Amino acid sequence: MKLIIAWAFIFLIQGCSFAQKYSFDTFTENFVKIYRALEIPDLQLSFAENFRQIKSSANIQQQLEFFDQVDKELPFYNTKQKNAQQQLDFSLIQYETRLNKERLVLEKRWVDEKSQGTLPDNLYNLPHGKEWYAYYLKRWTGADVSPDELYATGLNEVQRVQKHIDDIRLQSGLSEDSFYHYLNDPSFFYNNQAQVQQSFENTKAVILKNISRLFTVINIPDVGIKKGIDENLVQTPGYYSNNIFYYNYFDKPYNKRQVDWLFIHEAIPGHHYQTSVAAQSNRSAVQLLFWYPGFSEGWAAYTEELGKELGVYKTPYDELGKWEWDIVRSVRVLIDIGLNFYGWSDDKALACWNKYIVNQDAIAMREINRMKRWPAQVITYKYGAEKIMSWKEKEMQAMGNAFNIKKFHDKILAHGSLPFFLVERNIFTNTGD
């Protein structure tokens, strides 16, 4: 590592002569080596853990000098002929350089002002907390977005999702009170693990039968289905890891309405499918350095919209399960920004929750505390899904009957996890292919 760091400083003092002498491939190879040698910590869910990982002042300065020099070197390669992969690497390096410099300015201020000590319970109460939150929004979403813009998006999504719920309620013929009372009827719940397991297996079989309707790539590893065993993750309905979808069932009635959307999100065509396709793609060493949660979670949330085309959501109540969780996601956008950027109290956050969400009181404070510990993370689902749906609508309007949903999905997934401006570029370049 010391040899690589020493080489890095030779690189830093080369100036424009490096770009004049070496190819772009050599530049990217050296970028990867230095980036790894600097041991930049991965993004953690907890903002407190991210702050505990802030490096020393000397290391911060080392990183700043590296990224400053990369910023100076990149323009010399911008006008050179590059193939598609090199163009992608160029854009990724440029994007990550600027985002890392934003982080490092904040970290340097944190260290220089000797702000370290006991951390508050949310980001807003930190010195320069609003600036930190603006950075975390960009890092988590993989997009250059502002809190105010996202708050407006969250309000629009609340209205959109609420309309879907209201439409299903009207189909039921029940009054609002009777409808929400009926949703707690025992007929909507499983009472033993065997029933839950079989229900997920049935959903998997139906989706695998119909997956070729929407996707070109259907040769992916099998996904297992198991009961979750990590009680630290009990707050989530389920999760995905290493080709296994885990559903959480801890000796309580299990809501049937969450089976279809949850399998779609965590397994196929959500996380398991997306990571399987990415593993088959030809990603560069630069791409493998970075991961964008907004893309991954946004894709998984978007695929929940495809349930009917995949043969599930057989009843309005099956589909309702997706919207019941989606209204939670939509309101969380408002509350996350409110708590961490606007400085809302817990009471104001709870009032926002109660204004829009029915039948979910038990998880309200749990979710509010989560958003204070993990600022910006919950926004990834809604931001990413909304971006993909807006691109889909744009493509459908532009192409009319020539629109091909399989090709659309191929373009989104072709290069693995990317910032959204690069995904958008992939979609709207050569749309006639």
pLDDT at position 285 is 96
For the cut 90, the answer to whether the pLDDT of residue 420 exceeds it is yes
The tens digit of pLDDT for each residue in 155-171 reads 999 999 999 999 999 99
For residue 11, is pLDDT > 90? no
Alpha carbons 136 and 142: distance in angstroms, whole number: 10
10 or 349: which leads in pLDDT:
349
Q: Which residue has the higher pLDDT, 433 or 287?
A: 287
Q: What 8-state DSSP symbol labels residue 258?
A: G
E strand or H helix at 236: none
Q: What is the pLDDT of residue 49?
A: 95
Question: CA-CA distances (angstroms) from residue 233 to 59, 94, 112, 243?
Answer: 34, 36, 37, 18
Q: What is the pLDDT of residue 432?
A: 43
Q: Do the Cβ atoms of 305 and 244 come closer than 8 Å?
A: no
HSE, side-chain direction, 13 A CA sphere, residue 424? 14
C-alpha 430: how far from chain center: 26
Cβ distance 16 to 46 under 8 Å?
Answer: no
Task: Report the residue count for the chain.
Answer: 433
**pLDDT digit string, tens, across residues 294-317:** 999 999 999 999 999 999 999 999
pLDDT band of 290, cuts 50, 70, 90: very high
In angstroms, the Cα distances linking 100 to 63, 71, 113, 130, 139 are 9, 11, 20, 17, 9
Tell me the average pLDDT of the chain. Answer: 92
Give the least confident one: 4-8, 132-136, 299-303. Answer: 4-8
* Interstrand relation of 254-255 and 244-247 (parallel, antiparallel or unpaired): unpaired
Q: At what angle do helices 57-78 and 2-12 cross, to 10 degrees?
A: 50
Residue 272 pLDDT more than 90? yes
Over residues 184-240, the pLDDT tens digits come to 999 999 999 999 999 999 999 999 999 999 999 999 999 999 999 887 777 788 999
